Amino acid sequence: MGQIEIRGLSIDYRKPKSDETFTAVENVSLSIEKGSFVTIVGSSGCGKSTLLMAIAGLIPRARGSIQVDGKEVSKPGPDRAMVFQDASLLPWRSVHANVRFGLELQRWTRDDIDERAMRYVRMVGLGAFADYHPHQLSGGMRQRVNIARALAVDPDVLLMDEPFGALDAQTREVMGDELLRIWERDKKTAIFVTHAIDEAIFLGDRVVVMGRNPGHIRDVVDIDLPRPRTAVMLDSPAFVAYRKRLREYIAADMQSLQMVEDVV
Amino acid sequence: MASIAVPAPRVRSRWARALERYYGLSVSVVSVLCFLLLWEVAAERGWINARFSSQPSQIWRAAIHVGLTDDFAYHCWVSFAAFALGFAMALAVSVPLGLYLGTSRRGRLFIEPPLMALYTAPRLALLPILIVWLGIGLASKVAVVFLGAVFPILVNTMAGVRSADNRLVTAARAFGAGKLDIFVKVLVPGSLPAILMGVRLGVGRGVLSVVVGEMFVSEAGVGYQIMTYGQAMQFNNLLVYAFTISLFGYALTVGVRMLEDRIRSWRPAS
Ligand SMILES: Nc1ncnc2c1ncn2[C@@H]1O[C@H](COP(=O)(O)OP(=O)(O)O)[C@@H](O)[C@H]1O
Ligand SMILES: [Mg+2]
């Protein structure tokens, strides 16, 4: 479960205070095998979040289709769960109650949600912090809660929008390892948005490179590194080659942005 | 995993907390005592005229007198009943209405103009109309309290709902939350601090309203007694009633504030 087919997808936003539309994502086609870990990189504003929100069913699309296991996506569903960047935990709920939140919303039976939530709190290593409130946690711990909340509802597809974007480099690495460890257990289809190239290579089976104006897919790079991935691989020749290739894309994108700004 | 440092939560010992609480209290008590002492001495020495500005020792004597002979408890009860009824009605109307208006743009557009007109209108000016409608007595007083308390609660509740964090709403929607889920699990708990702040302001307004109301539209109650003693120039007795009202309002405000602090315990200390 968790096969995703995106065909000819375009997404428009209404420009503020006008009837004109602005195309944020144009003609994106992508298929994602079930159980694979796909990362999406691209400079900011190229439509990564927009694409992810569309897969989540949170925003309508202008053209094209998105199917999960052959079913057209029209709204959020229990087959998909989303991990947001930060500050999406309910500040008045404890860690445990935050993980319960998704279960409550998806109407899991009362009897086992407490226990199930606790199991996922433990799985992300926060067993001792179940009664803490989000403001009492570090950024990394908050993101663990976010991940636990998404996994607890047992989705087929895990959507993550720069979940480690607000973390410092070291915590980020630890979290990446941790995420892979958890993912390897039941291999849910994972789509992970980031703007960090190393992170994209380290985590992904495939890296989708997006460009902007309007947002589109420039390339899809298969990452041929063995799993489990380890920190040593970061310096392997293969990794370095991937890094070089992806950097060039992003650099080109930044340059085109520069040109746009020069013209304006 | 163990490599992530975890800040210990702020857990203070019972003793430290008690000390902190009594520190504030004792400073307040000393402040009040100093003020009373200064007042007493000033009146004694003739720095101020005790006949018009009274004197703590005289007020104390008056308090005993009032308490024994003046139907003090009855007047307090009359005022309290008017306050409690009016305030309960204000709560029952303002919280649901505020929650609704906070979520409905159309509702806001429709109700806001007359609401704001009433909010800014001097409510005392409405008193003659209220008397014509409701007569002199409980009903008018309840209406005055209601009008005094309803707006701060309503306005704050509305603001609380409207300032809800959009990211939380999006997160809820991503897990399949419907409108009712979002309302019950995100908007209401998120605006609870704002609602309580409104309640606290409403308490102040309500207490003030009951006294003012009784000065004009009553034949009993604390406000009525204040009016009567004022006209008779019996300031000691007047002040006994005035202090009673202050104490009541203060106690209630402190109570709500304690509730607010409890509700806010999930927030970072600000
Ligand atoms: N709600 C919105 N309304 C209008 N424009 C939006 C909205 N959200 C994003 N955009 C625009 O769409 C483009 C892509 O945004 P986004 O998907 O957030 O990019 P990314 O996540 O890659 O940084 C940007 O130009 C952004 O300004
Ligand atoms: Mg984004």
DSSP code per residue over A45-90:
TSSHHHHHHHHHTSS--SEEEEEETTEE--S--TTEEEE-SSS-S-
Q: In the predicted model, is pLDDT for residue A16 greater than 50?
A: yes
Shortest CA gap B49–chain A (Å): 55
Of all protein residues, the one whose alpha carbon is nearest to atom 11 of ligand 1 is A24
CA distance A158 to chain B (A): 12
Q: What is the pTM of this model?
A: 0.82
| Strand-strand pairing, A63-68 and A71-72 | antiparallel
Structure confidence by residue, pLDDT tens digits, B138-195? 899 999 999 999 999 999 999 999 988 999 999 999 999 999 999 999 999 999 999 9
Lowest-confidence region among A164-168, A219-223, A227-231, B8-12: B8-12
**Ligand 2 geometric centre to CA of A44 (Å):** 7
> Rounded to an integer, what distance in angstroms lies between the CA atom of residue A97 and that of residue B188?
16
pLDDT in tens, B37-65: 998 888 888 888 877 778 888 888 888 88
pLDDT band at A260; cut points 50, 70, 90? low
Q: Could you give the domains of chain A?
A: 4-79+155-263 (3.40.50.300), 87-154 (no CATH)
Higher pLDDT, B52 or B259: B259
Read off the tokens for A134.
């989000």
Between chains, do A92 and B190 touch, taking CB under 8 Å as contact? Answer: yes
Crossing angle, helix B138-162 and helix B72-103, to 10 degrees?
Answer: 30
Predicted complex ipTM: 0.91
- pLDDT band, residue B270 (cuts 50/70/90): very low
**Closest of A123, A124, A125, A143 to residue A134, by C-alpha:** A143
Ligand 1 atom 9, closest CA: A50
Q: Please give the structure tokens belonging to residue B33.
A: 């005592």
> For residue B116, how many other CB atoms are within 10 A of its CB?
12
Q: Which ligand is nearest to the CA of A50?
A: 1
Ligand closest to the CA atom of residue A40 = 1
pLDDT value of residue B45: 85
Output the pLDDT for position B1: 43
Whole-number average pLDDT of chain B: 87
* Cα angle, residue A55 at apex, residues A53 and A61 outer, rounded to 5°: 80
pLDDT tens, residue by residue, B112-142: 888 888 888 777 778 888 888 888 888 999 9
Q: According to the model, what pLDDT value does residue A258 have?
A: 63
**SS3 annotation, B199-220:** HHHHHHHHHHHHHHHHHHCCCC
Under 8 Å between Cβ of A83 and A161? yes
* A19-23, A250-254, B216-220, range with the lowest pLDDT: A250-254
Bigger pLDDT: A8 vs B267: A8
List the structure tokens of B122. 């001097």
b/e A198-213 (16+ beta carbons within 10 angstroms → b): bbbbbbbbbbbbbbbe
Q: Which residues contact A149 (CB under 8 A, 6 or more apart)?
A: A81, A83, A89, A98, A99, A101, A102, A120
Q: How many angstroms separate the CA atoms of B25 and B29, rounded?
A: 6
Q: Please provide the CATH number assigned to the domain covering B74-262.
A: 1.10.3720.10
